[in-house]
Structure 1
Amino acid sequence: MSEHVFSTDQTAQIYLDANATTPVLPCIADVVLHTMKTCFGNPSSSHITGIQAKHLLEHTRDQARKVIGAQYGDILFTSGATEGIQTAVVSTLIAAKNHQIEKPVLLYGATEHKAVPNTLSHWNEVLSIHADVLAIPVSNDGILDLDFIAQHAKNALMICTMAVNNETGIYQDLAAIETAIRTHNSDVAWMVDCVQALGKTKLALSETSIDYAPFSGHKLYAPKGIGMLYIREGRVYTPFIAGGGQESGKRSGTENLPGIAGLNKLFELLLDETDSTFKPSRVLNEYRDKLRTALIHTFGKVTFNHQFQNSVPTTLNFCVNELSSKEVMDLFDAAGIRISGGSACSSGANRSFVLDAMGIASWQSENALRLSFGPAMSPSDIDLACERICALKPILQANCLVVSDTLSPQQEACALGLTQYRHQGACSWLFVSESKHAIIIDPIAEMLPRLEKIVSTQSLNLVAILDTHDHQDRISARQLYERTFVSMLSDVKAGQLGWPSNIEKLDLMNATLERIHTPGHSKDSLSYLVRSKKTGKVLYCFCGDLLLPAGLGNSLLAGGDALEMANSLRQLNTFVQNETVICSGHDYQQCFAINWHAQIQQTPLLSALLSGAMSDAEFVTTKQENDAHTITHSASLCGFAATLDEPPLMQVDVTKAKSMLLESDTCLIDTREPYEHDANDLHKFFNLKKEQVINIPLSRMAHALVTGKLEKTHHYILLCRSGNRSKQAANNLAHIGFEHVYNLKGGLALM
């Protein structure tokens, strides 16, 4: 009996993204390294070293047959599942070029990994097959529509399904699919993606009419770059890679013997009934239950996007009801817990196409998270994962992300001053005075749960919910907010865009809020000015979409007028000062904080207008031309923003950063959100005094500028998780006159 586990040191990462890839088991890594050193022969060589290599290759092939239940047919070693898919599709479509079907189709499951439909579409076009590529619909439970398969099977050249879904862990009833296919077409090629099934479900491929089944080693503790393809006996085959004729002429190229040796060891573990490396379903279900309990304990309201009874136990696809997927992922990553948003192969997407196909609600698709573990996970690993997840609850409570059972301490990052909230480029602002009087400007529907929690946990007195204009890109959420906060606003009679009736200025203790009419983007456009009572200066200007960072609002939308915009901009110039922070309704450039001086410098049209270098007529003509181009060529509906020239970025590595931080005028700025910052002890890592570490997330950058947290004479090293947010912040600070800002290259990920 043996147990191959990973370190459970408290400082180690908790890896819960096994569906994306797995670490190589130590015993498999040892075999791979041994093969590189001592069994390195070419299986095609006739000498003893080559014969030994050939024996290992064929023994692995025999082991594979036992694992997947394939007494007959071919086992072909590949570089991974993608190559196996290509091989199966190319073989099938080449054989089908002379088909006699009047309206041929290629079918694939709507929740299939993108490698499948993309491959079908690619080779369908390249080989001029001219078939319709159709997605097989799925139910809300992710189960394939058997009636659809039956309806189209007779015209199908190929049908592609998967055994287990990579995002949700949902498994298909292969026997039922087989009946639906073979009842109507006994000869159509059927490929089943078995990548996520290996080691999690029992396979008996020779007892089915599955024609092709690709597998990938790195999904189950073997190395990357090695996989295999099962081909049913008698099915058509065309080599995808031609050359020296290796693999009996089916796949040329010298075999990846170290990778194959890794598979051999993997198969040995799977077949050894006395070995405890891979846990039985009963234990894996217990693991899932523990993780589910930990998630609910920590986040409260959690929605699971699949039915556990028809999913493998190693996958949990879920949403935290009142948090975005990015917020949860950032928090987990800061705490050393690795999960993913949907599929790792689709991490750039804003939503899950798998959940969309299942008809799951849009908010779930946009905020889906995938927690997955491998079947070799040990009980201690699971317990540590649950412990680490549960330890996040007080951080969430302290940062107003979940409602606490006890009174939360006042957190500046939660309330006081100005905070920006963003959703897909749109900006909403929360301003809170020292007396806890709060104003929400340009409310966004998606941000309501977050703001509701902040108002509640911080005991804020919400005095107004304001729009800067009737937004053309979305329905105003103001009335939704007013209904939510009706008890606070019941005595406030709101007029135009939410401004309290019969009030000229709103008193915010140390400041006042004023409004001025600034039409141009729309007829009803207003700008709101936060003015300091002490200095009389305007601290913030909430201008909606009249101004965008490095750009101007669109004047060709309904109610827009370029001439009125020119007058509004000149009027605004008489109210604000160079250091006034401009707070727009959209921030396509992700500037987060820009002052009036930088706005003028970075917007040539604005600069020319205010300096008198351009007449009103010239401004109108140029503005209308720019807006017409924007509407035609840009997705930025509300205005045009030029791409900013990035100033030379000064980057430092960890060693250089530690050296610089020995100087008294150098500080470390963590640009992550407070809940991420609280999950790490940066003081300890960099051996710094408390005052040398400042947490200024991008959402609070405008507040930091106005409150004097940053001084242009000081040196600042900025960091975040990956170096991307801190790079953006460093560029932004450079644009507004900070000359001594440095970015920690690679962020915490490379420390």
Structure 2
Amino acid sequence: MTPEIYLDGNATSPVMPAAIAAAVRAMEDCYGNPSSSHTTGLQARALLDGARQRALRLLGVEQGSLMFNSGATEGIQTAVLSALCALRERRDAGQAIGSLLVYGATEHKAVPEALAHWNRLLGLNLALSKLPVDSDGRHDLPALRAVLPQTAMLCTMAANNETGVLSDIAGIEGLLEETGCGAYWMVDCVQALGKFRLRLARSRIDYAPFSGHKLYAPKGIGMLYVRQGAPFTPLIVGGGQESAQRSGTENMAGVAALDAVLAALEQGGVFRPHDVLCTFRERLAASLRRALPGVVFNAPFEHALPTTLNFSVPGLSSKELMDVFDAAGVRVSAGSACSAAKAAPSYVLQAMGVPDWRAASAIRMSFGPLADEACITRACERIERCGAALRASGLIAQGGSLPAQDGVLQLGSGGACSWLVHDAASRSCVVIDPQPEFSERILAHVRGLGYRAAAVLGTAPGAGLATLSRALTLAPGADAFGWRAGRADADAAGNGEQLALGGQLLRRVLIDGQAVYLLGHAVNGALPASAARHAFIGALAPQRLAGLVGADTLLCAASDAQQPFCSSLQAQAPADGLPPADLHLDPAALQDLLRRHPDAMLVDVRESHEHLVGEPLALSGGQVVSVPLGQLAGQIPAWMAAPVPLVFFCRSGNRSTRAAQCLRRLGYAQAYDLAGGMALGMVPTAALPLAA
């Protein structure tokens, strides 16, 4: 297996070997409770105190306190609670405290959520105010100056987790001093640790949270700096550990691991220097420019961490980019890992005022200061492989470069759908129900194939077909559905009109002002209902097709939100709405099925560009074929005609589950999916532990 290239260091990092060894030693040899007074406890206390002293030195904390905790979220909660409790006490004593809780528009969501939570629970009822940023992602200092007289607490960050943009901490501090603002100030330093020098004691910062897992320590260990004199209220009370700042027996394995990372920082020579990291970033950027024409970087390099690149590519969604990178063994993310599962544009990029398409399709590529020359070289090679695969699949085709295609292609999944019908023999195609969001994709696809567009059709009248028709150089003169006048064999209502597409016929039937397009091979120059293999039905309910199509004709709608991919008149969903119990196969069940059915077919439903850059499955038995999800409807008739066990797989298991469920609804009893996809259901690729 090809080792993975991990370029998602801003989300988390692998644990460095020295940190693993330190954690193991702490569990094996220094397992005492640091609050115990016997020798074993004293040894643990010495480890804890030594780690704290090292952290204080590295962070430039000459006075003030530093407590160990579970990570940044706990540190943020503790800082916000401490500041807001002090504000309530001051207000109750009759002091003026200000009316605003100000936070940067690009802060991690943990900050405004903590402010809103404790503001409500403590009954302060202060107003939350979002501080805008400029087009470079840096705080708008004039806007900050305007609100400081009313500010009770200010929350900013040292470096942004999505873009790597560095805040003007000195500029913010200067405004606080200039205006005499007494607001409490928290600076999220999570992305700063190990990437630039910190001197907290010389700053006006009251609270600074840190998280170990962003810099090669395990998850579940972090730190919070509290400036001397800043108010403090513990989030967790109990046994009085951490000088009563954070009760609970200390996570000694985590502290020891973090101390090993801090020791590497203090000693030097382990992490790459700034100029080397900048060179690595430039090399990655150059490969992205070669691989992905039109790539746009969403943050200026001169104001950002050298370990972070945030970019968008015209015409490509973040999901498409993530999928092809992941198939090539390159781990990246779409914005913040905490919100990657939410299909929404990046609020960080929106706050910077970038165009909507860039905010919705951005990719974050980030590495850590342990990255080396070999890792970056491999990453650049794979980035360019991904670009070649995207060109080969037509997503960034330059024209006339795609292999011929036959059959039915669906664009879109889980919502509005467009359909393309291809005929390789005549090098022609028909577009049905083109959705506006797919127009550029359709144009690139048709031009990349070098096909002639025979028609652009809609199932509803006036569906905005003219723009795409002109772009595909179709002659004017079509009706409201895009259908050309003068087709043969039509009755008075326009039913039975036919369009030849190589050896196939496309027949139009009108039902209550809606068009249905039947597709199949001609029988004596006509297309009877029994010969229709596909029916493109728009928004019509399937039961409206009774008597017009066969029971097994595949019904392809303009939306697949309710019936993914396609349905039929005989299709049945499970009575209880749950998938069949035997639908999901784990690796052992898959091997058993392959032993019993050597003719089984394993169907890779990832997109063709993912399949091109991925590695073949190492399985004993079964034939592996690539049928991207969008081509599923075109392939189903052949499978139904000669059924063999089908096992669908993809990266995570989501797409393959939908494919297997579709086949089961159509009555294909031997359709399965690989549980967990290639991420969980197969042996994972070997990791490069220092590649983050």
TM-score, with length taken from structure 1: 0.84
Compared with structure 1, are the counterparts of its residues 423 and 181 closer, same or farther at alpha carbon in structure 2 (3 Å cutoff)? Answer: farther
RMSD value, Cα: 2.1
Please state whether the residue corresponding to 1:199 is helix, strand or coil. Answer: coil
State how 1:37-116 maps to structure 2 within 5 Å. 37-98=28-89, 99=91, 100-101=95-96, 104-116=99-111
Per-residue deviation, residues 165-211 of structure 1 (Å, max 9, x unmatched): 00000011001111223333432100000000111122111111000
Separation (CA, whole Å) in 2 of partners of 1:660 and 1:505: 45
Alignment-derived partner of residue 301 in structure 2: 308
Whether the aligned pair in 2 keeps the contact of 1:423 and 1:446 (CA below 8 Å) is no
Alignment-derived partner of residue 588 in structure 1: 561
1:290 aligns with 2:283: yes
1:266 aligns with 2:261: yes
Alignment-derived partner of residue 637 in structure 1: none
Alignment-derived partner of residue 664 in structure 2: 734
Whether the aligned pair in 2 keeps the contact of 1:661 and 1:668 (CA below 8 Å) is no
Alignment-derived partner of residue 313 in structure 2: 320
Q: CA deviation at 1:739?
A: 1.0
Per-residue deviation, residues 461-516 of structure 1 (Å, max 9, x unmatched): 01211222258xxxx5533323432xx31x34222132223334221122222222
More displaced, 504-513 or 359-368?
A: 504-513
Alignment-derived partner of residue 548 in structure 2: 575
Q: Decide which of 36, 41, 52 is 2:27's aligned counterpart.
A: 36
Alignment-derived partner of residue 493 in structure 2: none
1:403 aligns with 2:387: no
Compared with structure 1, are the counterparts of its residues 423 and 720 closer, same or farther at alpha carbon in structure 2 (3 Å cutoff)? Answer: closer
Whether the aligned pair in 1 keeps the contact of 2:557 and 2:566 (CA below 8 Å) is no
Structure 1 gaps of 5+ residues are 1-9, 553-568, 604-641
Q: Decide which of 407, 412, 415 is 1:425's aligned counterpart.
A: 415
1:416 aligns with 2:406: yes
Alignment-derived partner of residue 126 in structure 1: 121
Compared with structure 1, are the counterparts of its residues 681 and 149 closer, same or farther at alpha carbon in structure 2 (3 Å cutoff)? Answer: closer
Please state whether the residue corresponding to 1:96 is helix, strand or coil. Answer: helix
Separation (CA, whole Å) in 1 of partners of 2:674 and 2:428: 37
Separation (CA, whole Å) in 1 of partners of 2:283 and 2:647: 40
Whether the aligned pair in 2 keeps the contact of 1:594 and 1:702 (CA below 8 Å) is no
Alignment-derived partner of residue 444 in structure 1: 435
Structure of higher RCO (CA pairs closer than 8 Å, 6+ residues apart) = 2
Whether the aligned pair in 2 keeps the contact of 1:25 and 1:221 (CA below 8 Å) is yes
Whether the aligned pair in 2 keeps the contact of 1:649 and 1:731 (CA below 8 Å) is no
Q: Decide which of 155, 160, 166 is 1:165's aligned counterpart.
A: 160
Separation (CA, whole Å) in 2 of partners of 1:226 and 1:24: 12
Whether the aligned pair in 2 keeps the contact of 1:299 and 1:320 (CA below 8 Å) is yes
Whether the aligned pair in 2 keeps the contact of 1:217 and 1:223 (CA below 8 Å) is yes
Q: CA deviation at 1:644?
A: 4.5
Alignment-derived partner of residue 229 in structure 2: 234
Q: Decide which of 370, 384, 399 is 2:378's aligned counterpart.
A: 384
Query: Which amino acid in 2 is paired with 1:202?
Result: R
Separation (CA, whole Å) in 2 of partners of 1:229 and 1:92: 14
Separation (CA, whole Å) in 2 of partners of 1:282 and 1:403: 36
More displaced, 339-348 or 583-592?
A: 583-592
Separation (CA, whole Å) in 2 of partners of 1:470 and 1:82: 53
Alignment-derived partner of residue 519 in structure 2: 530
1:719 aligns with 2:653: no
Q: CA deviation at 1:593?
A: 2.1
Q: CA deviation at 1:680?
A: 2.8
Separation (CA, whole Å) in 2 of partners of 1:712 and 1:130: 68
State how 1:178-577 maps to structure 2 within 5 Å. 178-273=173-268, 275=269, 277-350=270-343, 351-403=345-397, 408=401, 410-411=403-404, 415-422=405-412, 425-434=415-424, 435-469=426-460, 478-485=465-472, 488-489=473-474, 491-503=475-487, 504-519=497-512, 524-534=513-523, 536=528, 537-547=531-541, 570=544, 572-577=545-550
Whether the aligned pair in 1 keeps the contact of 2:640 and 2:668 (CA below 8 Å) is no
- Once the two structures are aligned, what percentage of the paired residues are identical? 42
Please state whether the residue corresponding to 2:570 is helix, strand or coil. Answer: helix
More displaced, 74-83 or 505-514?
A: 505-514
1:701 aligns with 2:685: no
Per-residue deviation, residues 40-87 of structure 1 (Å, max 9, x unmatched): 111111112211211111111111122222211110111000000000
Alignment-derived partner of residue 606 in structure 1: none
Whether the aligned pair in 2 keeps the contact of 1:712 and 1:738 (CA below 8 Å) is no
More displaced, 718-727 or 104-113?
A: 718-727
Query: Which amino acid in 1 is paired with 2:279?
Result: E
Separation (CA, whole Å) in 2 of partners of 1:304 and 1:55: 47
Q: Decide which of 599, 604, 607 is 1:670's aligned counterpart.
A: 604
Alignment-derived partner of residue 622 in structure 1: none
Separation (CA, whole Å) in 1 of partners of 2:325 and 2:521: 39
Whether the aligned pair in 2 keeps the contact of 1:467 and 1:497 (CA below 8 Å) is yes
Q: CA deviation at 1:531?
A: 3.6
More displaced, 233-242 or 731-740?
A: 731-740
Please state whether the residue corresponding to 1:388 is helix, strand or coil. Answer: helix
State how 1:652-663 maps to structure 2 within 5 Å. 652-662=585-595, 663=597
Separation (CA, whole Å) in 2 of partners of 1:89 and 1:359: 28
Compared with structure 1, are the counterparts of its residues 11 and 653 closer, same or farther at alpha carbon in structure 2 (3 Å cutoff)? Answer: same
Please state whether the residue corresponding to 1:505 is helix, strand or coil. Answer: strand
Whether the aligned pair in 1 keeps the contact of 2:67 and 2:225 (CA below 8 Å) is yes
Per-residue deviation, residues 408-435 of structure 1 (Å, max 9, x unmatched): 3525xxx321111116611011111231
Separation (CA, whole Å) in 2 of partners of 1:357 and 1:396: 30
Separation (CA, whole Å) in 2 of partners of 1:208 and 1:237: 18
TM-score, with length taken from structure 2: 0.91
